[in-house]
Amino acid sequence: MRTLPSPMVPHRDPERLLHHVRAQWGGRGDLWVFGYASLIWRPEFEPDEQRPAFVHGYHRALRMVSRINRGTPERPGLVFALLSGGACRGLVYRIDARRAHDELERLWAREMPTGVYDPRWLECRTPQGPVRALAFTLSRRSPSYTGRLGDDAIVEILREARGRYGTTLDYLVRTAQALRHHGIADREIERLVALARRHRLLD
């Protein structure tokens, strides 16, 4: 089994990153946010508009260590990350400018407490035209990036890993269900669900 990365002290200040994101946004118009995994089935904010969206240059992958939410330091779990390369279908959410500053604060507290992500403004194609949306991407240089894991290692994590929000397996299944609900095909996620079923982790 490939050893998951060891925890490291974050070297980036979340507040400084938030200040940078605010400056890039400008703070005067509506805020758009791109969701590719749990933000699809648990956004924790009420969007004023929601659209299917396509991002070129990034893809969804189960290659991010979770030592709190979906695992522990002793038995790390996995969550999806948005990595460079390829393409990704998800949802974009519009938050009205009157609420956007407060909602961004709450979103930041959820996604960026340790500054692990590289927040980026990505061009998202939607049926109504392109929008520039905030997305939480992960660098391959991050200590939370696992690299490619073999199926045996993934099955062990799906079987064992549990954190404060539940298991990695539940996280995978809920993401798969949410994508299907929105008509988004992801062959790798379906392969991982089938892998879990073959190992009798699912009915």
CATH number, domain at 175? 3.10.490.10
72 assigned to some structural domain:
yes
In this structure, are residues 20 and 157 in contact, taking their beta carbons and an 8 Å threshold? no
Spell out the residues 6+ positions from residue 138 whose beta carbon is closer than 8 angstroms to its own: 63, 64, 81, 82, 83, 116, 117, 118, 144, 145
pLDDT of residue 6: 52
pLDDT tens string 161-195: 999 999 999 999 999 999 999 999 999 999 999 99
Q: In this structure, are residues 21 and 112 in contact, taking their beta carbons and an 8 Å threshold? A: no
- Residue 46 counted as domain residue: yes
What domain count does the chain have? 1
Whether residue 150 lies inside any domain: the answer is: yes
**Angle 86-94-180 (CA atoms, 0-180°, nearest 5)?**
50
pLDDT at 203: 86
Residue 28 confidence class, pLDDT cut points 50, 70, 90: confident
How high is the pLDDT of residue 44? Answer: 85
Domain extent, residue 124, equals 14-198
pLDDT of the residue at 83:
98
Does the residue 146 lie in any domain? yes
pLDDT band per the 50, 70, 90 thresholds, residue 156:
very high
Q: Do the domain assignments include residue 44?
A: yes
Does residue 1 belong to any structural domain of this protein? no
Distance from first CA to last CA of the chain, Å, rounded?
25
Could you tell me what percent of the chain has a pLDDT over 90?
A: 86
Which whole number is the average pLDDT over 86-91? 98
Q: What is the pLDDT of residue 115?
A: 86
Res. 99: pLDDT tops 90: yes
